[in-house]
Amino acid sequence: MKFKLLAFLLTVNVSFSQSADDCISNLSIFAEYYKVKNYDSAYEPWMKVRQECPNMNAAIYSYGKRMLEHYINTSEGEQKVAYQNDLIKLYDEWLVNFPALRGRKIIGEIISNKAQAMLDNKFASKSEIYKVFDSAYSLDRSSFDDPKPLYNYFKTYYELYKEGLDGVTLSMVFNKYEDISERFEEVIDGYSKQLDVILKKEETGQALSSREKSNKRAFGINSNASVTYLKNLNAIIAKESTCENLVPLYRKNLEENKENPIWLNRAASRMDSKDCSDDPLFAELVELLHILNPSANSAYYLGLLNDKKGNVNEALKFYNESIELETDNIKKARILYKIASKFKKSNQFSKSRSYARKALNYQPSMGSAYLLIANLYASSANNCGNSQFEKRAVYWLAAEQARKAASVDARVKRIAERTAVSYEGRAPSKTDIFTEANAGEVITFSCWIGQSVTVPNL
């Protein structure tokens, strides 16, 4: 009896060992073919490893997803439908076998991508697709950060409202919009913080590693994609979030939300962004918010109210209080940039640049702050310099700031580069430099700019 049991165990162990070897072999074969995009050769070993050892490696799902998407895009009829069905099935298997990767939960990422696939392939009604998106967001908001599914999560909900389905009201749409747009900002801020670490290292003159160079590019691209989708999100809600709609809606809901700081903050933020802050309701919201929960936002809005009343010193007091109350560097930079923009509008250029520079101290990747400074310089060209040549030389400074914006922030790179070219076109030409015979000379501007520029050598 003992010999029979030993023989049986040896057979089982050999079988398991051979099965594991087969899995490793198939995984290796599939991965090599996948990397050279030979999907037809990769498919069979992939299916074997997927069926026989589904929890062996996350590449079974990440690579498999891209392969199935390729087949969906290159096939037709029943075959295409089969691949579409299999893609949805793959997401369900992924959720079971690899709900986390490198210690990070990715449930939200998997389910939101499944919902996106359902939407792309028209596999279900909008109500059903929305529920899958919502499930991803509810179960794991932290890994629901892919901008396309995040955008479509809101877009699907908005379409349910427009079609009068599932009892979705305009008030519910605004709440959903605020929640998802805040998630977008969290994602964008996350990329900015990682990028700022790299930029600060560059500023000290340290060489970046190849990984840091790669990450710098990736963070910029991902941030830019998120910003683009957020702009599309804002475009959807723009037609609904007019002052004519917002004021009566917020007035109607104020009583039941007057002790809800999240609602008050979102309502005040929306009214501010849509230029509804002249309405008395805005002052009510801000005062309630500041009494209930003094914060960086409420202090900023009080500054805004005093600005509108012409109480410049009081406004500045609240603006500075806002900066002190804010603990997050990215949000602090955002407030400083808003203040800089306010000073620019009132032609207080020196103060505007000062606050823009403070913003850059907290967020070196804020290209919009560099662009603001570039615009301040360009706007002062006629008021700085002792000659026509010197006045036009200011544009070199402006172009330099625009180029800096393009180098640190992929979100504004295109407009920053166009701005730089425009300013360089207004600066003295080579002919002007030859005529003045001042190549290499340093021009110092005694106006508020207080900077110097070196005339380019011919």
Segment 406-417, tens digit of pLDDT: 999 988 999 999
pLDDT at 210 over 80: yes
* 417, 406 contact by CB (below 8 A): yes
Tell me how many degrees the CA angle 131-132-135 measures, rounded to the nearest 5. 85
Phi, psi of 452 (to 5 degrees): -120, 155
Residue 307 confidence (pLDDT): 85
Residue 14 confidence (pLDDT): 37
Phi, psi of 167 (to 5 degrees): 65, 25
Q: Which two tokens stand for residue 149?
A: 């599914």
Residue 264 confidence (pLDDT): 93
Q: Which CATH class is domain 241-325?
A: mainly alpha
**Residue 293 binned pLDDT confidence (cut-offs 50, 70, 90):** confident
CA distance 65 to 86: 10
**Residue 82 binned pLDDT confidence (cut-offs 50, 70, 90):** very high
Residue 4 confidence (pLDDT): 42
pLDDT at 455 over 50: yes
Task: Check residue 104 and report its DSSP letter.
Answer: E
Residue 3 confidence (pLDDT): 41
SS3 433: helix
Residue 15 confidence (pLDDT): 39
pLDDT at 9 over 70: no
Residue 152 confidence (pLDDT): 98
**Residue 99 binned pLDDT confidence (cut-offs 50, 70, 90):** very high
Domain limits, CATH 1.25.40.10, in the chain = 241-325
Residue 22 confidence (pLDDT): 87
pLDDT at 7 over 50: no
Mean pLDDT computed over 116-128: 94
SS3 296: helix
Mean pLDDT computed over 91-98: 97
What mean pLDDT, rounded, does the chain reach?
91
**Residue 394 binned pLDDT confidence (cut-offs 50, 70, 90):** very high
Q: Residue 454 pairs with which residues in a beta bridge?
A: 442
Residue 257 confidence (pLDDT): 93
pLDDT tens for 170-206 read 999 999 999 999 999 999 999 999 999 999 998 888 9
Mean pLDDT computed over 263-282: 90
pTM, rounded to two decimals: 0.82
pLDDT tens for 322-376 read 999 999 999 999 999 989 998 898 899 999 999 999 999 999 999 999 999 999 9
SS3 7: helix
